[in-house]
Amino acid sequence: MLFLIVALTFLLSDSEAENCVKLKPPFVYAFPGGHLNLEDRLVIHTPIAKDNKWLNVSISDQNNMIVYDYLPYLWLNMSSATEIKIELLNTYGIKIFVNDQFHRTEGHPTDDPAADYWKLMCDIDKPVGPFDICIIRNRGYLTTFP
């Protein structure tokens, strides 16, 4: 499977709308500034087909080794939603929110969570539209999309 590698070199502003990019799956997205910092929030928002079976969200390190893998397929199979928003907050663990609801907190799979998360990889069973990918730097609040 070929991945589109996207590297962003611009600095993100405080405006959430300016912090987002639209990418078509499957893709690999290099985090701005080289890595995801502590207290950064990664937001993934995409439309989904009602009969979609899986969505894969992975984060790799600088050597392209997957250090975090999240498969919200159970949620997708039980949902009649037409879109999904996944938020990962890099704090004392990885706090996971699905559609603005707290899902769970997972421990860090790496020794240095302040510097070891370099790239995001996403794929979906039945793509309907692009993924909105946002990085909210050093904030712990939930985000909203229009």
64-120 confidence digits (pLDDT tens)? 888 888 776 555 555 566 888 889 898 888 888 888 888 888 888 888 877 888 999
**Would residue 5 count as lying in a domain?**
no
Number of domains in the chain: 1
Please say whether the dihedral angle defined by the alpha carbons of residues 102, 106, 110 and 112, taken in this order, is positive or negative: positive
**Would residue 43 count as lying in a domain?**
yes
CATH code of the domain in which 90 resides? 2.60.120.200
Q: Which residues form the domain of 110? A: 17-135
24-33 confidence digits (pLDDT tens)? 989 999 888 8
The pTM of this model reads: 0.74
Model confidence at 43, pLDDT cuts 50, 70, 90, reads: very high
**Would residue 67 count as lying in a domain?**
yes
**Would residue 143 count as lying in a domain?**
no
Per the structure block, which two tokens stand in for 79?
A: 């949902």
